[in-house]
């Protein structure tokens, strides 16, 4: 049956605030070292995806090691602190992490006149089908963080029994995009939206193939509502911001998930409001929602600087395995 449970996460004594938790993860994560081997997956639409396979320190993993697909957040990549933390923890437990770098996020511009967005589940499906075809005897799991978590939850709900996964976990998910957007566009949380917008604008200034995306347009965009309405929505086939948010929010899809799934959310996440958090009636029979009082956004830094989130994700997936 569906469950809403209290997390046992306890924040570092000096890092109890939501912003401290969020920023500490970014700062402390710089010390984490993970080696990857890159695989370029050519797609039928003419584009490509770069997959980064985590390498064990001794170079060896069991031939039947379960696969863990890691899906990053907005403007993330295999080098994001939360991805490295989970990759390292997975390797220590003989689980093979594979990072899906979204289109335009691997350090190489993608070929098609598009990028990625919160509701894009097609590339998750493409990678999982690749795993199924090439490594059919390996168990498959996935973990998505933030935007990647929204994609993963939506994929699980869309596919239900057909989802090519044995289990999944999603952390710091903006289940209701319009409400999450309202939060990140206001107050002190604007420091995050400004940082992310700067990264997106820098990337887009190098693109000449996106119809209507001009230097003048980019200069005039001041928040994510404007960015999503004038760029994200039109280049990905939505009529506008509200259409994009409505079709891409993962909240309505939780109810149809049939695979074992753990959702981890911090109640003090500066990217969310309380309204974004699912309630018991939103959950399917196979979903557990774990709520922490603290943790910020993809932070969850515990005593001694421990990356609790990474430990919890791998611990839970190990139980499902």
Summarised one tens digit per residue, pLDDT across range 89-113 is: 999 999 999 999 999 999 999 999 9
Summarised one tens digit per residue, pLDDT across range 240-289 is: 999 999 999 999 999 999 999 999 999 999 999 999 999 999 999 999 99
Closest C-alpha to 23, from 136, 192, 144, 268: 192
How high is the mean pLDDT of the chain? 96
Token duo for residue 247: 């079709």
Query: Residue 153 in contact with residue 170, Cβ under 8 Å?
Result: yes
Closest C-alpha to 164, from 67, 40, 65: 67
Q: Average the pLDDT over 10-31 and give the result.
A: 95
Token duo for residue 53: 């396979």
Summarised one tens digit per residue, pLDDT across range 203-254 is: 999 898 888 899 999 999 999 999 999 999 999 999 999 999 999 999 999 9
| Spatial distance between the Cα atoms of 297 and 294, rounded to a whole number of angstroms | 9
| Spatial distance between the Cα atoms of 113 and 104, rounded to a whole number of angstroms | 11
Summarised one tens digit per residue, pLDDT across range 158-177 is: 999 999 999 999 999 999 99
Token duo for residue 16: 């109890």
**Burial status of residue 134 (CB atoms within 10 A of its CB: 0-12, 13-18, 19 or more):** exposed
Token duo for residue 98: 């594979």
Give all domains of the chain, ordered by start, each with its CATH number: 3-320 (3.40.50.1820)
In the sheet that holds 48-54, the strands lie side by side as 3-6, 287-292, 261-266, 167-171, 140-145, 67-71, 96-101, 48-54, 36-42
Place of tokens 């799934």: 261
Q: Which SS3 state, helix, strand or coil, does residue 152 take?
A: helix
Q: Average the pLDDT over 53-75 and give the result.
A: 95
Catalytic site residues? Answer: 146, 269, 297
| Spatial distance between the Cα atoms of 293 and 123, rounded to a whole number of angstroms | 33
Element (H, E) at 290: strand 287-292
| Spatial distance between the Cα atoms of 172 and 241, rounded to a whole number of angstroms | 22
């Amino acid at each position: 049956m569906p469950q809403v449970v209290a997390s046992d996460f306890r924040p570092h004594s000096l890092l109890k605030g939501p912003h401290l938790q969020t920023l500490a993860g970014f700062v402390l994560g710089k010390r984490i070292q993970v080696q990857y081997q890159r695989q370029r997956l050519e797609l039928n639409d003419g584009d490509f995806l770069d997959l980064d396979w985590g390498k064990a320190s001794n170079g060896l993993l069991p031939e039947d090691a379960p696969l863990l697909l890691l899906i990053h957040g907005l403007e993330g990549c295999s080098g994001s602190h939360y991805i490295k933390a989970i990759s390292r923890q997975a390797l220590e437990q003989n689980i093979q992490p594979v990072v899906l770098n979204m289109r335009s996020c691997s350090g190489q511009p993608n070929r098609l006149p598009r990028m990625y967005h919160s509701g894009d589940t097609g590339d998750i499906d493409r990678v999982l089908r690749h795993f199924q075809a090439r490594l059919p005897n390996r168990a498959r799991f996935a973990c998505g963080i933030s935007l990647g978590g929204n994609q993963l939850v939506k994929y699980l709900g869309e596919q239900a029994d057909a989802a090519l996964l044995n289990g999944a976990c999603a952390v710091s998910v903006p289940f209701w995009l319009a409400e999450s957007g309202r939060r990140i566009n206001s107050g002190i949380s604007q420091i995050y939206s400004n940082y992310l917008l700067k990264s997106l604008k820098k990337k887009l200034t190098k693109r000449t193939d996106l119809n209507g995306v001009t230097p003048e347009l980019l200069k005039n965009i001041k928040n994510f509502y404007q960015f999503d309405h004038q760029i994200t929505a039109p280049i990905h086939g939505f009529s506008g911001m509200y259409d994009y948010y409505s079709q891409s929010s993962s909240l309505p899809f939780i109810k149809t998930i049939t695979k074992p799934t753990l959702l981890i959310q911090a109640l003090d996440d500066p990217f969310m409001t309380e309204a974004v958090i699912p309630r018991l009636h939103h959950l399917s029979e196979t979903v557990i929602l774990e709520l922490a009082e603290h943790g910020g956004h993809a932070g969850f830094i515990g005593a001694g600087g421990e990356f609790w989130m990474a430990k919890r994700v791998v611990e839970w997936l190990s139980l499902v395995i």
